[in-house]
Amino acid sequence: MTSLSVLDLMMIGEEKSFAQTLDDAVMLARHVEAHGYKRYWIAEHHDLPGIASSATTLLIQHLAASTSTLRVGSGGIMMPNHSPLVVAEHFGTLDTLFPGRIDLGIGRAPGSAGPAIRALRGDASERDFTRDIKQLTDYLADNGRQPVRAIPGSHSVPIWLLGSSLNSADLAAKQGLPYAFASHFAPRFLMDSIAHYRANFRPSEVLQQPYVIAGANVFAAPTRSEAEYIASSHRQWVGNLYAGRPGPLPAPEEGYMEKISQRDQYSLAEAMACTAVGDQDDVGSWLREFIATTQADEIIIDARIYDPVARCRSYQIAAESIADMLD
């Protein structure tokens, strides 16, 4: 058995507003909650045109308040940008507001370029990620091992370690934390990292057995041609990013892949190797093979689809395509 979840970068579409993006996210959160999805994570990014997920904890609160059972969290909070104390205070508060529904995914990358990092908190080059995890854990546990306290009381907010390399897999294994691999955009080391994590996992107070989330891009529609059409927005955005032209999520374009060069097609295929595009049978077959290959406990889906209704439908089709496998 496995689970499905959502990763959202809060993409602002061309000719759309931030307010519309928030409304679309609430629509999707409520829709996937009704179709068996386990969690909805929001990724922290800064100073990237078209991505509106910088105030991650506020967005978590907004979506948690708009749903009733769905777990909502960060995918992830980028620790170089924040004091562990502040992160613990924010997530302890969220856990108090929405008990048992908040996840804290964390990463060691800043999720932004140099100027944004300096604007956030100065030079973060000397931060120690392992030390940050220890402090964060102590603050949330309210165990008295730090000289100050965060939110009073112990908060059992699950901490997830996010990454896309063997280094992150090794740290997650040594810390005994659940591990989420960003194969939706960095698939190269997926299998090696999962294998290393499982082979070197050390049971901890929070986790007795290794637990893996793998990222995937899924674009599902009633027909293959429509699926290719809605996937073109995500592909265009990635292509524009690689060309140094980040911006809003483009409107879909018919025949996009046929219009770009072979070199660009290869680059997209390499970056988005963990991607399913097609109708329910196509997507179901791909997901079953992906789950069998990775043995992932959970698949988290990133689908930057311009039309919010088509996005909701895509997530629904994905769930229906493997309904017999879901927890």
Tokens of 138: 């102590």
Q: How confident is the model at residue 124 (pLDDT cuts 50, 70, 90)?
A: low
DSSP string, 218-258: EEE-SSHHHHHHHHHHHHHHHHHHHTT---SBPPP-TTHHH
Q: Mention every residue, 6+ apart, whose C-beta is less than 8 A from residue 201.
A: 173, 176, 209, 210
In one-letter notation, the amino acid at residue 96 is T
What pLDDT shows up at residue 127? 76
Start-to-end CA distance of the chain, whole Å, equals: 6
Q: Using the Cα atoms of residue 141, residue 144, residue 147 and residue 149 in order, give the sign of their dihedral.
A: positive
* Residue 244, CA distances (Å) to 15, 48, 49, 265 in order: 21, 11, 11, 16
What pLDDT shows up at residue 109? 77
Tokens of 163: 């990454």
Of 203, 6, 174, give the one whose Cα is nearest residue 105: 6
Residue ranges with strand state E in 38-119: 39-42, 71-78, 102-107
- Per residue in 299-327, pLDDT tens? 999 999 999 999 999 999 999 999 999 98
In one-letter notation, the amino acid at residue 210 is P
Q: How confident is the model at residue 121 (pLDDT cuts 50, 70, 90)?
A: low
Is there a contact between 82 and 46 (Cβ–Cβ < 8 Å)? Answer: no
- Per residue in 44-91, pLDDT tens? 999 888 999 999 999 999 999 999 999 999 999 999 889 999 999 999
- Per residue in 171-225, pLDDT tens? 999 999 999 999 999 999 999 999 999 999 999 999 999 999 999 999 999 999 9
Note the residue count of the chain: 327
Of 214, 142, 135, give the one whose Cα is nearest residue 175: 135
In the chain, CATH 3.20.20.30 covers: 1-157
**Maximum pairwise Cα distance, the chain:** 60
Of 125, 126, 195, give the one whose Cα is nearest residue 166: 195
Domain at 1-157: CATH code? 3.20.20.30
CA-to-CA distance for 25 and 275, rounded, in angstroms? 21
The pTM of the full predicted model, rounded to 2 decimals, is 0.95
* Residue 10, CA distances (Å) to 51, 52, 161 in order: 6, 5, 21
CA 159 from chain centre, in angstroms, equals 14
In one-letter notation, the amino acid at residue 311 is R
| Phi then psi dihedrals of residue 56, to 5 deg | -60, -45
Tokens of 271: 């970056």
Tokens of 106: 């964390």
pLDDT at 125 over 70: no
Q: Mention every residue, 6+ apart, whose C-beta is less than 8 A from residue 126.
A: none
CA-to-CA distance for 113 and 118, rounded, in angstroms? 9
